[in-house]
Homo-oligomer: A and B are copies of this chain.
Amino acid sequence: MLLSAVTLFRERGVDATSLADVVAHADAPRGSIYHHFPGGKSQLAEEATHRAGGLMGSLISESLSNKGPVETLVLIIDLFRRELVETDFSSGCPVAAGALSSGECPTAKDAAGEAFSSWEATIAASLWQHGVRMSRAQSVATMSISAIEGALVLSRAQRSTQALDRVAAELVAMAEDVLADATSTGRRADAPDR
C-alpha cells in the first residue's frame, strides 16, 4: 500500500491522489487503509514521504562509501532519468511530492524537509571526508540536491531529459573541481614537511 502511495504521489502529487486511488492501485480491500493508516491520508503521505526519503538516503550513503561523490551524483540522476522516461515524464521525486503537498498533510511536508536535510548532510560529510572544507561541502551538497530537484520539474514540464542532462554535466564538473581543489590544497598543506 505504501509503495502504491509513493508511485501515485510521484506521478500526480499528494493532493490529486485519493485514498480510493491508492487502495485500487494496491489491489487491497477497501477499509484496509484505515486499519494500517488510522490517520488517513495525512498519515499515509507522511509515511510514504519518510519511506521514500529513507530508501534514497540509504542508496546515497552506500554509493558514497563504495564509489564516491561524483559517481553518486551520476547514480541519483540516472535513476530519476530512467523513471522520467519510463513514465512518459510523469514521475518526479517522491520526497518533492511530500514537500509540495498542501495544508491537508502538514506532516508530509516536515518528513520531506527531514529527508532533504539528511541527503544534504550525507553528501556534505562525504565531500568533507575527501578533504573539502565543511562550509563548502554543505553548499555543494545543497546545490546538488536543489539542481536535481529543479531539473526534474523542468524535465517534466518540457517532456525532455535535456534539463536533467545539462544539470548532470554541470554537477559532475562542479564536484570534480571541488575535489581537485581539496586534493591540491591538501598537497600544499603537506609541503613544509618534505
Binding site for B on A (CB under 8 A): 11-13, 15-16, 92, 95-96, 98-104, 109-110, 112-113, 116-117, 138-140, 142-143, 145-154, 156-159, 162-163, 166-167, 169-170, 174
Contact = CB atoms under 8 A, between A and B. Distances in A.
A157 B113 CA distance: 4
A167 to B, nearest CB: 5
A74 to B, nearest CB: 16
| Copies of this chain per assembly | 2
Nearest to A105: B16
Contacts of A13: 13, 15, 100-102
B166 A154 contact: no
Residue among A11, A100, A117 with max Cβ neighbours from chain B (10 Å): A100
Contacts of A142: 151, 154, 162-163, 166-167, 170
The 3 A-B residue pairs with the shortest CB-CB distance in the complex, in nearest-first order: A150-B150, A149-B150, A146-B150
15 contacts: A11-B102, A12-B15, A12-B102, A15-B16, A95-B157, A109-B156, A113-B157, A139-B166, A145-B154, A146-B148, A146-B163, A146-B167, A147-B150, A149-B153, A153-B153
